[in-house]
Each structure stands twice: as C-alpha cells, then as structure tokens.
Structure 1
Amino acid sequence: MSKKLTVSVFLVAVLLLTTGSVLAEEITLDFWNGFTGPDGTGMGKMVEEFNKEHEGEIEVNMQVMQWGTYYQKVVTALSTRSDSSPDIGIMHVDRVPEFASKGVLLDLDQIVADLGWSKDNFANSVWSAGIYEGNRYGIPLDVHPLAMYINKDLFKEAGLDPENPPKTPAEFMNAIAKMTKDTDGDGEIDQWGTAFPPLWPGPEFILPSLLRQFGGSFLNEDRTEVVVDSKESIAALEYAVDIVHNKGYSPKNIQQDGEVTLFRQGRLGIHFNGIWMINGFKDQEGLNFMSYPVPRMGDKLAIAGNSHNFVFFRKPGNSDAEFEAAAEFVKYISNNSVKWAAFGQIPARNSVRNSQAFEALKHQASIAQEVESVVFPPKIPIASRILTPYYEAVNLAILGEKEPAEALKDAAEAGQIALDEYLQTQ
C-alpha cells in the first residue's frame, strides 16, 4: 500500500469515527399536494424556508396539481413503484380511509410518538379524524370548516348587532327575516337574509351541517346501514327547503357561486361558505363583513368541515433516515402553521391557535371559536359513493324538483347498494 493511500485510508477512518460518514448525503423528499391557489404560494414559501434552514441535510421538492386529478395521479405514481413517486403528501381527511385501505399509506403512530405529539396537542375534532381502523395514517395540519359571513351594513340597517351574530335557531330565523326585502319597491325581493344553494357548497357543507345539527347521520353506528332518510335527516332538508320555497328568505335556483356574487354585491345578509373565502372577501372593495362560526339551527351545534392531513406514502426502498427527514418537515410546517392560517385555515395545533399571532388573524380566530364542533364525512373507504347520492338528493330538493323525503329515500337506497357491495368484500 502506498504512503499516499495509507494516509487517505487513515483520514477516512477518522471521519467515520467522528461523524459516522465521510459526507452525509442530502436527503431529497418529494412532497405532493393540490394547493394551486394562493395557498400554494404560501406553502411554497414555507417549503423554501424549510429548505434554507436545512440546507445540505434535507431538500423538499414540492409538486402541485389540481385536486381534481391529484388523487388519481397519486395512485398512478405509487403503482409504478418508481423513485419519482411522492414521499409525503397532503390528503383531505375524508380520503384517508380509502388510501389506507389500499395499503399505500404508512402507519404514523410511532412517528407521532417520536415527535412527542398526542391528542393534547391538537383539536380533538380533527385529531381522531386521521385514525382508521385503530391506526393513525394522517397528521392534521389544519381544519377548514363551513363559516358564517355577515354583511355588517345590512345587519345595522335591519336593527341587528353585527358584533352579536345569531347563535340560536330563533336568532338566526329572526335575522334572515329582517334582512329579506324588496329594496327598490318593484314588488320583487332583491335582498335576501341568507342563501341555501343547490350546488356547492350547499350539498357538501351547508346541508351536512344541518343534518348533524338535527340529529341525523350518514351511517348507523356500526356502519352497516345508510340512514340519510331518517326522520332527523328529512327534517334538516325540509328546514332548508322551507326557507327557500316557503319563507323566501333565500333566493331560488341559484347558479354556481351565485350566492357568492350576491354577497359581494351587498345583497345577502348571511353567507355560508368555507373559511377559505376570507381573503377573497377582504379583497372585495366596499364589502363590510365579518366572519363567525356557523350558528345552531337545529338541536345541537355541528359544523361540517374537512382537514388537510400529512400522509407518508408506502414507497419501496425508503430508509429510516428519510422517514426522520419527513417527520422533521412535518414538524416544521406544523410549528409554523400560523403562516398557513393566513391563507384561510384554522391550525390543528392548539399551541398555534392559542398564539397571539393567530389571534391577530381576526376572521380565522373568530371562526376557530367552535373548532371542536366541526364534524367530518363518514370514516369509510367508500364515503364518496355514499355521499354522492346524498348530494344529488339535496340538489333536487332545494331546486323543488323532489320532496325531501322522496329524494333522501332514493339517496339512501343508492348509498345502501354501494355499502352492501363494499361490506361483501370485507
């Protein structure tokens, strides 16, 4: 062995003893999500900040695509079992059971334990939502519930206090009645107290909130029967139909986003939409509004929502070092999620929600007051096959094309067929 080679071997040995490697390789993680709007810009900045702080150690490459194609692209990428498939992803919590049942998600119980996190660190409502069949597959980043937006000027004109919004069924009905009027005297209502649209987000968020408030559910307790045609569920839909077609406090036949336009124009007193609408309304010139939690319109408070969860994909060849790097990334984003909240979200972490920085986001902080009242879609892999007939039933009933009881009976039958097929495979 030459003297030069002997010295080289000696130096390598010293490096191995002192650092564990000659040169630690930078770990690269592929992070996929569907944040195509301003929220994507915000998440991109957070990823850049993480990469800068972990330069030479961890590099996160973020790939963004439309939510409409995201889930299928994830399935396709994972099926190829290639290095280009994602390591980490964002998944709506209602999709977690579907992907967990396919075996493409990693169990995160140990990772969560290693991070020192437990139910005490998160909103209870969303902490349990990421668990499927006793195992954790999702780590909650946020909660995005339905919210109540009020036009403060219309409240004042009607003799209502915009700082004391309706919280009970009687207060809500009184408020929307007072703000429904014919403003130009032509005999036609042109300003409404609220809106129950037949299209998004009516069937997906507003009516599921009412369904749960009136004591209804999508499935029975042991998840063997679709029960959207229960007397409670029918009462919830009849309540909405009555406001639209009998009382006239909501416009009829609203086209997609028509109620958003009415609210922007100052012709809608109370508008129900997701928390993600905050920044859009703040940018609307002349719109004097405030954001609040959805009020109780039934027997108990329940607010439909969803949540972005971090998931780790089952990928061949992933090392413990890569899992540790992914956990470090999730911890960083979670710890700094007040930045994410600015884009219209409620942080899932209690410490972030209780921070002064979050309290300064007055709209988000106001809506977050009832974060523990948020309810999620049924925790079953075929949830979409049960929910879709329900959404169609709501649409037909709000349009006045079917009676609520008939529409929900049809939805229950269609959902039951899907559920029976699923149960036969279990």
Structure 2
Amino acid sequence: MRRLSIAAAASLAVMAGGQVSEALAETEITIGRFFGACENAGNDPTVAVGEACIIQSIINAFSEADNGITVVTLPTEWDSYYDQIKTAYAGGNPPDVHVMHRHRVLEFATLGAIAALTDDLAGAGIDSRDWADLAVAAVSNGDDIYAVPFDFHATLWHVNMDIMEEAGLVNQDGTLILPSSPEELLEQAKAVKEKTGKDYLASDFSVSPMGVRVLLAWIWQQNQNIFNGDTVTLDNDATRTAIKTLTDLIDAGYVNEQYDYQNAQQAFLNGEVAILANGTWVVDFYAAQAADPEVPLANYHVTDFPTLFETPATWADTHMWAVPASLKANNPEKYAAALALLAWINENNAAWAKTGHMAVRKSVLESDEYANLPHRADYANTANIARDVPPSVKYGAIQDTLVRELQSIWLTGKSTDDALSDAEIDIQDLL
C-alpha cells in the first residue's frame, strides 16, 4: 500500500454511508475497550440491548460496511483496563483506538501518549461544534482535543417501586418520595426493613469505586471536595458527615456492605433491595429485565441521585475514544482508518444513548428520538448536577487510595480518624 501524508490520509477517512477511499482497502485496526463481552452482538445497534452488545454492534456494523477496514476488538475487564492499556503503551503496541475516561485525559495527554486530534476532526467528517460544551471540555487539554466524546455517565437512584410502595414511600399519585436529608434517608431505610423485610440500599461497597462515588456525591452536596490544586482537603466535616450517613445505614442493617458490583445488581434484580446506586449505563438493561416475567424486579423506576444536603450533586464522568500519538506519527493509513472509525462511532451517538448514558451531541440531545428513550425524563436533571474531582495526572492512584481507605472503615473496622489520616497522607504525596 502506498504511503500517504497524515493530512491526505485523514481526508480519506470521511464517511459517506460507510464508504472510504480504496486507499484504505484491507486495513485492519484494533480497538481496546471495556463494557463487557457480547458473543451475539450482530450489526444493528437499534435492536441490541445493554452496553456490551450495543457497542459491539456499532463496531461490527463498521467492519461489515463496504469500507475496506476491519476492526478487531480487544475486550478487557473494567477493573484492570488501565493497567493493560499502560502496559500496551509501555510495550509499544497500544490499540489503534481505545476508550478512556475524562479523568484520564490529563495523564495520557501530559505523557504524550495520545494524539491531538484537533486539526484532523473536520477532515474525518466529525463536527466538534455539535458536541455539548461539557463534552468539549472533557476531551480537551489546553487548546487541543485529544479524543472523541461518547457519553456523559453518572450515578443514579435505581428503584424497585413495588418495595417502596409496600413501605409507604410513594405519594398518592404513585410518584416516588425521595429523601431530602440524612435523617429522612435513615427513616426510609427503617420503613423498608420493618414493612418489607428487604434491604434499603445496595451498591458495590466492597470492591469497585461505586460506593465511594456515593460518598463523593454527599461530599459535593455539602460544597466540599477531596483536593484543591495540589492540596488535599479530604478530612473535614463534610467527609465525616458523608461517611456517617452511610455507616449509620450499615450499622442498622439496612445496607449489605459486603456486596460487590454483581451481587448488588443481582440483589436488585431479585427484588431483595429497594434501591440500587448504580450508573446510567444499566437503565436499558434493567428496563429489559423488568419486562421479563421471570425476573422478580417488575416495577422499575430510575431517578436523579437525591439531594440530602445543600447543593444537588452526583458523580459523573465521560467515556471517549482516543488514538495513540505513535499511530498518528508513524502510520498514516491506520491513523486514517482510526479516524474513520471515530467518525462512525460519533454518528452512532444516539444508538449508544439507548444504554441509558446521556448523549454528547447537541443534535442528538435535541432530537425527538432521544427524548422518547425509555426513562429519559426520569433523570433529565442529572446533567445539571454532574460533578467529579478536579483533573489530576494521578487520578487513578488517588481513586485507589480513596477506595482502599474509605472501604476499610466499614469492611475492617478501621477508625474514621485513622482512615482519613492515612488517605490524606497518601493523596498529598500523590499531589
């Protein structure tokens, strides 16, 4: 295959009904992603259900289009994904396209690992002007764009309405009564346990960061954060109040702190818990499960994360797709093929939003198709209350410290004083 300049190759990536130039014929690229595996994804994202099958159907459709490009998917587990990606970069063999989060952009861009795409997006048929302002900010570092945004995702309140109704926690019109203070949260939990025998709240409080994200939301709702610039600010009244809010529930027997992600989810689907704190990514899946007569969860509802303190807030992040800087510098044909795949993924933003994730393209957000997605109106305000920690090149290590130390409070009995002190020391060293 003849070699092309980067500019010329990038211009060949313009998609038109799946078509790209013959110059890219028989080009194979790899894509690294999490989201799980789907053996029977097919190539129609409009009929696929759940994250794994929807993303794989988008990729399959691109590979099967008449564009001469084949995409090989390299699925990995979520909890080890960044270790594998960093190992691949260190070995000089990263995927040609890979997914990442907003909080990782600063780290990878500062290291020079991922390519600046700013000047090549338009030529690939990607209109960054159609991205929401928050999406542009998420994929940018300084004046450059380093990825194509895919979604906004956030922590929501997933609800078994049958349990809440039995506990007397719905209004006369059938709408959900949300707690508006730690005291009301505890009262609701007591009512659920006494009237139904079920747990009130479930999440992954033992392995992944999901439970810590619940605490972060409560910290932000008190107008505090865990660090500011290069100074750690974790040990304060807001953090201690957030921790006590959770441990009060655990100590009273209203929360099973031993659940990991899968166990918490299964308990919710089995009708064993009233509320599951989990993300936007499962809305489509839970709705489909609730429609299955063999699944105990029957009356499914989802809503914005409730405000227990002064300021509405919930944890949120952005999925995006990046390309290695080495690919842009050394392989114009594959770089062009990677841009073509990014353009395809960008065009399928509405299909991805079926999962429950919030779209990033203005044209999708404003469309009737998006507005009519199941449950979309139930958490429409989530985009307005989305929060995350400040950008940091050490975010991954900071998150690991938070998970280790905060979980030790309810899993091993470590004192709040010791856990916060140890966490502050480690985070300050990282900052």
**What is the TM-score normalised by the length of structure 1?**
0.79
Secondary structure of 2:278's counterpart equals strand
Partner of 1:213: 221
Question: Is the aligned partner of 1:180 residue 2:189?
Answer: no
Secondary structure of 2:430's counterpart equals helix
Question: Is the aligned partner of 1:24 residue 2:28?
Answer: no
Shift in Å, 1:256:
2.3
Task: Give CA deviations for 1:50-79 in whole Å, capped at 9, x if unaligned.
Answer: 2344424x4433332333444344334334
Shift in Å, 1:182:
2.8
2:382 to 370, 388, 391: 370
2:404 to 392, 395, 410: 392
Shift in Å, 1:105:
0.5
State how 1:263-274 maps to structure 2 within 5 Å. 263-274=268-279
- Measure the CA separation in 1 of the matches of 2:281 and 2:324: 27
| Structure 1: runs of 5 or more not aligned | 1-18, 185-189, 420-426
Residue 117 to residue 72, structure 1, CA distance change in 2 (3 Å): same
Once the two structures are overlaid, the 10-residue window that deviates more, 86-95 or 399-408, is 399-408
Partner of 1:418: 430
Shift in Å, 1:351:
2.1
Name the amino acid aligned to 1:36. G
Partner of 1:250: 254
Partner of 1:194: 201
- Measure the CA separation in 2 of the matches of 1:174 and 1:68: 31
Query: Is this contact kept in 2: 1:126–1:307, CA < 8 A?
Result: yes
Residue 363 to residue 125, structure 1, CA distance change in 2 (3 Å): same
Question: Is the aligned partner of 1:98 residue 2:102?
Answer: no
Secondary structure of 1:346's counterpart equals coil
| Structure 2: runs of 5 or more not aligned | 1-11, 13-20, 39-50
Task: Give CA deviations for 1:78-120 in whole Å, capped at 9, x if unaligned.
Answer: 34446xx4221111222222222221111122234655644x6
Name the amino acid aligned to 1:215. N
Residue 403 to residue 116, structure 1, CA distance change in 2 (3 Å): same
State how 1:397-408 maps to structure 2 within 5 Å. 397-399=409-411, 401-408=413-420
Residue 191 to residue 103, structure 1, CA distance change in 2 (3 Å): same
Residue 244 to residue 81, structure 1, CA distance change in 2 (3 Å): closer
What is the root-mean-square deviation in Å for CA atoms of aligned residues? 3.2
Partner of 1:139: 148
Residue 368 to residue 321, structure 1, CA distance change in 2 (3 Å): farther
Question: Is the aligned partner of 1:160 residue 2:173?
Answer: no
Query: Is this contact kept in 2: 1:294–1:303, CA < 8 A?
Result: yes
State how 1:304-319 maps to structure 2 within 5 Å. 304-315=315-326, 317-318=329-330
Partner of 1:361: 373
Name the amino acid aligned to 2:53. T
Once the two structures are overlaid, the 10-residue window that deviates more, 262-271 or 226-235, is 262-271
Secondary structure of 1:110's counterpart equals helix
- Measure the CA separation in 2 of the matches of 1:68 and 1:155: 32
Shift in Å, 1:321:
5.4
Partner of 1:7: none
Query: Is this contact kept in 2: 1:125–1:373, CA < 8 A?
Result: no
- Measure the CA separation in 2 of the matches of 1:253 and 1:53: 47
Task: Give CA deviations for 1:168-212 in whole Å, capped at 9, x if unaligned.
Answer: 43896387246423348xxxxx32333466324543321121121
Secondary structure of 2:375's counterpart equals helix
- Measure the CA separation in 2 of the matches of 1:299 and 1:228: 18
- Mark the structure with the bigger radius of gyration: 1
- Count of aligned pairs between the two proteins: 386
Shift in Å, 1:405:
4.2
Partner of 1:5: none
Shift in Å, 1:149:
0.8
Give me the identity figure in percent. 22
- Measure the CA separation in 1 of the matches of 2:22 and 2:316: 46
Residue 192 to residue 123, structure 1, CA distance change in 2 (3 Å): farther
Residue 388 to residue 77, structure 1, CA distance change in 2 (3 Å): closer
- Measure the CA separation in 2 of the matches of 1:243 and 1:267: 16
- Measure the CA separation in 1 of the matches of 2:377 and 2:302: 9
**What is the TM-score normalised by the length of structure 2?**
0.78
Residue 201 to residue 382, structure 1, CA distance change in 2 (3 Å): closer
